[in-house]
Structure 1
Amino acid sequence: MVKSNAKMPSQQVFILTAIAMIAFAGNSLLSRAAFLETTIDPASFTSLRLLSGFVMLWLISFVNHQPYKGEGSWISAFALFMYAAGFSFAYVSLSTGMGALLLFGAVQATMIGHGIYKGERLSKQQGAGLTLALAGLIGLLLPGLSSPPLFGAILMMGAGVAWGIYSLRGRGLGNPTLVTTGNFLRSIPIAVVMSILAFTNADIDLSGFWYAIASGALTSGIGYALWYSVLPFLKATNAATIQLSVPVLAAVAGILFLGEALSFRFMFASIAILGGIALVLIKTSSSTRKNEDSN
């Protein structure tokens, strides 16, 4: 992976960013496929994902001559575990695109809400965007034939809040790959305790095992490493808006590889939620540029 202090051609930034977004969408696809096509249980899937993710991140750090030296924290590790566990249990019942949309919406809502709590003021455009996104979420969750299972939706939104907290805690904490490696390592014993408590429901078949390993090592470990390698070359708001593509990519992958249906409710909710978030982020970007120009 490219070190943050190196220069990177714009074409390479674009390619690596695209691969990272595909990897993030792949996380949703692999998780949903595991619970559709294999007998693996969510607790075992979570533990294997975190373990394989740590191993891959450790190997990447080792190859880059950046040995792990205890980075990370237990609080962040717990947030990481809550994200991974909620993600797995939610995908027992949610479709690929639905899960990714709920996750992404909750992540962005958490981070935007944190900014408001810290005193950031919303412009009219941002307020309208936030209202539109909330309306889309309410419309998505209203009872109906195409509404997602409520318990699964709550679990995924909880996972999104946990990932938002994890992201907020990780700002400016040194080498993000090493910090993530340490957090993955610390999350493993927490996941093992969960697996022990859920032992009576444990079930791991070979296909489910490899889905979990791929989710942890490839779409999580390598995906995060790629993302962190290009993040220094992207403006903060650009990085946030780029991630708007993940729910769309996940939905397309679910349709192509798992034969999932695309409902009108999901389409309209996606437009409202992602469009509303984009209005908030784009306004933030323009405000930031004005502040930079005035300095």
Structure 2
Amino acid sequence: MLYFQLTIVLLAFAANSLLCRWALDVHQFDPALFSLIRLASGAVILSILLRRFAPPGSKVNIMPWRERRFWKLGAALAIYALGFSWAYLRLDTGIGAFILFATIQIVMQFAAFWLGDRLSALQWVGIIISFTGLGWLLLPGAAASDLFSAGLMFIAALGWSWFVMLGKQSQQPLQDVQQAFMAASAITLVLFPVLLQEWLHWHWMPWLLALLSGVVASGLGYFLWYRILPKLGLSKAAQFQLLVPVIALLMGMFFLGETLGQQALAAMALIITGVALSTFFRRATAP
């Protein structure tokens, strides 16, 4: 059941990447507007779920904004969502994805090591192989990067890493993620007058893409992610996230008509092999 849920989560993460690129690149949708719709719609669906499916007798915090964790969750999610959307305006997709996932991998593996999670030699080999595959998949042929946009993606990766680490000890994942989206929506709304560039998006498609990103890929996907994080641990969570670019490229091939060459397929095979070595062989090789 854990790996079935993990598969759903990874599909949701990849769908988020696809929906964001579709709205921002194809339809030239405003990143501030996309982020606000994404976060606010996620907050709405999670609030409905929290009200409907809260366990009997559970205590739902009706004034969460008084707690520091509420704003930590919101800040982490807002940093990721806003940085991610803005970075892709001027950043090559391959470079952006590499910065995002490489940074997440390094930060989370360091955090896991700091918390006492010691990896075996085979696991380190797996991490190196998947990391090599990530670079081979995303970097060849990428356009020169805009340093400011690259910095934004780096900051977005730090925000996501913070969000994941906050979820590692989550006891109430639905409430935590609902609060994260509420707080992130509030932060984005405050910044909205400064960040908004253009309201005039009359085509219905990018609005629908933003709603799908918020309700399904983000809201429901992040809730499920918080449910399984305590069972995965930071090291495994970091490694499994390297599969997201692989899934996103496959989705791009099916939904956006993108093509994959032999090098991309070989690189994807490297990533999958590395993730398998560093996760599924843990018990057999751990000292």
How is 1:66-215 mapped onto 2 (pairs within 5 angstroms)? 67-69=60-62, 70=64, 72-92=69-89, 103-136=100-133, 139=136, 146-147=141-142, 150-151=145-146, 154-205=151-202, 206-215=204-213
Residue 20 of structure 2: aligned partner:
31
Question: How big is the shift at 1:62?
Answer: 1.0
Partners in 2 of 1:33 and 1:84 — Cα distance?
A: 16
**Which blocks of at least 5 consecutive residues in structure 2 are unaligned?**
none
Worse-matched range after superposition: 274-283 or 160-169? 274-283
Question: Under a length normalisation based on structure 2, what TM-score does the superposition of the two structures give?
Answer: 0.77
- Total equivalences in the alignment: 275
- Contact kept? 1:110, 1:165, Cα under 8 Å: no
Residue 7 of structure 1: aligned partner:
none
Question: How big is the shift at 1:281?
Answer: 3.2
Among 26, 38, 41, the residue aligned to 2:30: 41
Partners in 2 of 1:259 and 1:95 — Cα distance?
A: 18
Residue 221 of structure 2: aligned partner:
223
RMSD of aligned residue pairs (Cα, Å): 3.4
Q: Which amino acid aligns with 1:147?
A: A
Partners in 2 of 1:157 and 1:217 — Cα distance?
A: 25
Question: How big is the shift at 1:136?
Answer: 4.4
Change (3 A) 1:266 1:196: farther
Q: Which amino acid aligns with 2:30?
A: D
Change (3 A) 1:235 1:189: closer
- Contact kept? 2:100, 2:157, Cα under 8 Å: yes
Partners in 2 of 1:232 and 1:141 — Cα distance?
A: 26
Does structure 1 residue 21 correspond to structure 2 residue 10? yes
Partners in 2 of 1:76 and 1:233 — Cα distance?
A: 16
Worse-matched range after superposition: 46-55 or 192-201? 192-201
Partners in 1 of 2:266 and 2:90 — Cα distance?
A: 21
Change (3 A) 1:287 1:57: farther
Does structure 1 residue 59 correspond to structure 2 residue 48? yes
Partners in 2 of 1:35 and 1:252 — Cα distance?
A: 19
Does structure 1 residue 257 correspond to structure 2 residue 255? yes
Partners in 2 of 1:222 and 1:155 — Cα distance?
A: 25
Question: How big is the shift at 1:279?
Answer: 3.3
Question: How big is the shift at 1:59?
Answer: 0.7
Identity rate of aligned residues, in percent?
Answer: 33
